[in-house]
A and B are shown apart, each in its own frame.
Chain A
Amino acid sequence: MKFRALITEVPAMRDFMNIALSLSKFSKECVMRITARRVYFIISEEESGPRRPLVWCELPVNFYFKEYNFVGVTEQHNEIYIEFSTVLFARSLGILKQDVKSFKIKLTNKDSPCLTVEIELTAREIASREVVHDIPIEVISRKHWSDYEEPRFNDFHVSIQMPNLKALKNIVEHMRNMSHSLTVCADKNGRLTLKIKTNVVTLSAHFPDLSVESFAVGQIPVLTDCEEELQQSVHSTVDIKKFVMFLSGLQINNCRTVCSIVHEKMVKLHVEQPGALTIQVFLTELTV
């Protein structure tokens, strides 16, 4: 079991640092799955039932790492799963804000398994400064790997592009003060609606003219009101805190976000930087 990777380009380092920072805002712990071609960061739901991913982040190796040496647990199962604290990870990578010559990340065993981060800083003098951080990790044994299976939800009723996340964030953060649950609604015409309902007020934010990627009309249960057939929409009610966590935690700019909804079952947010990064956030329907 071996893992050693090197980043030398500054933009790649900054992106990697931003991803670590986003992860630390999503959750306190995460699982890193290392394979030959991709690196995954998985954050699970807190419930102690069958583990379902809350956040699934995929990074293609060749985009970030200049050098990548990897040997999995066995030949048949050529992967490594480790778990660590996202806060410590993000803090250790915080130095990447400065002028860094090279950034190496590797698995080591210094009295206990660690993820070692070696950063070489460019100093003004000839000799450069080195910083080494050993982050304590826990290696996840093969019998638990099935807890972290790749989610394959493809039957969405609608997939719609999301508007500017910053605008959304402001609105939803204010909504959070008023209600625990948020209804995400999308219709055929490219209108995304976020609704909350309390005893006193119903508040909805409408974002029209968004591009609809797919809309599966036939599968939605028929609505009773005939007028609404023209404006058939798909909606699902989710926990507003998790929605806000995603919006405010994401530290990555210029990415494309798609919102997919399964009617009254689930909302999935898919963030993509083509070729560089995909993050999927799964929010299941609130059972009230």
Chain B
Amino acid sequence: MDGIIPGANVKVLARAINALAKIGDDLFIEAKKEMLTLTTLNLRKTICVRYHLLNSFFSSYEIDENELTQQSRDISCKIHMKTVLPLLKGGSSREKDFLKLEYENNSDVIIFKMKFKCDDILMKHTLRLMDTESLTVEIKPDAGCNNILASSSFFSQLLTMFSNTDDEITLEVSKEKVAARNYIVGAPVRSKSVRSQVNLNASEFSIFQISCETSINFALRPFRTAIQFAESFNLNIGINFDVGGKPLAVILKNPTFEVNFIIATLNPYSDLQSSMATTSIPTKVSNPKNDDPNITVEDQEALLNVNWSEDFDMSEPTSDKADERSKRSGFQEVVKNKNTEAKVAGKRCKDFSLPVDNLPMEVDHEDMDVLPPSPESPRAKKAKLVFGRCFEPTFSETYLGQVLAPNSDSE
């Protein structure tokens, strides 16, 4: 894939990458036939930001058709945000003539070539990519039944009514009005913050089509990032959403690029949790290269079937007293007890079992259900088998042979 971005649009790319960097740590770059898409997700997968740079964004955009016809319809790669961000962070003082992106399919690197206006300097950055993964975002940004559109200055003025410390915003939308709040009515009051509410009329928006009235709560940070980006290019901001609980999309459109911020939401009046969404955006990250040429299939199967406990000797079964001790959490202080020690000495890793912790959760008896502790993952169980020796008292007589001198201090 080869793309050349003219000077004026390099600024757009720079701002785009800055905005993406505010949300997530990894950048997915997908080159399709008609556009280049930059995507990132936040850690909890509740925010997905996509920048679609259309053909017209580039002064020249070439993509190898042959690569496209394989399983995926795009060429994709994944890169650390930290690798790309410093390249484009420079201010407008370093004006660029153009920026060229070069990527060969299945390559380890992506090349950024930047030509600067002053002194005709050409810089070539070869950036190492992460393991190739392709990302499928299973949400269409205009799937919702409610649509509002207004200018970026309107939204940024709205944001000034709220404080920078506010994390969430709740919109109570009806056919004629919308009330924007930084709190949830009925939630316990936080004593150190101001609760603000702004009542807006439908007439203040360019488009205000509401099919289903709802209350929708979502994070303010990505919303702010979107508004800042839109303001720097004077774009109109469209918000498409459904009911609270379904994702909300902030859509910015321009003849040469389109931006979608997809944010998970919740309905504060019907969902139990009053804090931010645990509903995450359905995305699928798949690793198309499942076969590592260094390990054959038989080796992989063998690895999975290894019984780690075979490395240790088997002899006496554990005693009752040892069982009792092992019932306490493995990390408690070990009480030196000469009687049990002799019996513990013969203990075998295989019979050693750590109890499942009863999680000391603070249960709010009023509304939260007691969540059962998550079952131990097989990896954790294996680790405990392998490292079982670490959970035992450190000193064990018979392994070391005869006792030359008794212990001087009891731990």
Judge: A and B partners, yes or no. yes
Residues on A facing B (Cβ under 8 Å): 85, 88, 91-92, 94-95, 110-112, 114, 123, 125-127, 129-136
- C-alpha spacing A88/B161, complex, angstroms: 12
User: Inside 8 A of A133's CB, which chain B residues have their CB?
Assistant: 194-197
Given contacts A134-B195, A136-B194, contact A111 B201 (CB under 8 A): no
User: Inside 8 A of B199's CB, which chain A residues have their CB?
Assistant: 129-132
Task: Name B201's contact: one of A92, A129, A132 (CB within 8 Å).
Answer: A129
Task: Name A132's contact: one of B160, B197, B204 (CB within 8 Å).
Answer: B197
Check A131–B189 contact: CB distance below 8 A.
no
- C-alpha spacing A130/B178, complex, angstroms: 11
- C-alpha spacing A132/B194, complex, angstroms: 10
Check B204–A123 contact: CB distance below 8 A.
yes
Beyond A127-B201, A127-B203, 20 additional contacts (C-beta under 8 Å) are A88-B193, A91-B194, A92-B196, A95-B161, A111-B188, A111-B189, A112-B191, A114-B195, A123-B201, A123-B204, A129-B200, A129-B201, A129-B204, A131-B161, A131-B196, A131-B198, A131-B199, A133-B197, A134-B196, A136-B192
Check B204–A131 contact: CB distance below 8 A.
no
Interface string of B163-198 (1 = CB under 8 A from A): 100000000000000000000000011011111111
- The tally of CB-CB contacts under 8 A between chains A and B is 54
User: Inside 8 A of B196's CB, which chain A residues have their CB?
Assistant: 92, 131-134
Check A125–B204 contact: CB distance below 8 A.
yes
Check A95–B160 contact: CB distance below 8 A.
yes
Given contacts A95-B161, A131-B197, contact A136 B189 (CB under 8 A): yes
- A101 to B: closest C-beta gap in Å: 13
Which 4 A-B pairs give the minimum distances between C-beta atoms? A134-B195, A127-B201, A125-B203, A130-B199
- C-alpha spacing A167/B199, complex, angstroms: 44
Within 8 A of A (CB), among B201-255: 201, 203-204
- C-alpha spacing A234/B163, complex, angstroms: 47
User: Inside 8 A of A111's CB, which chain B residues have their CB?
Assistant: 188-189
Check B198–A88 contact: CB distance below 8 A.
no
Q: Which residue of B lies closest to A111 (CB)?
A: B189
- C-alpha spacing A252/B22, complex, angstroms: 39
Check A130–B198 contact: CB distance below 8 A.
yes
Check B194–A125 contact: CB distance below 8 A.
no
Q: Which residue of A lies closest to B186 (CB)?
A: A111
Check B203–A92 contact: CB distance below 8 A.
no
- C-alpha spacing A129/B198, complex, angstroms: 7
Interchain Cβ contacts under 8 Å between A and B, 9 examples: A92-B194, A110-B195, A123-B201, A131-B196, A131-B198, A133-B194, A133-B196, A134-B195, A136-B193
Check B194–A134 contact: CB distance below 8 A.
yes
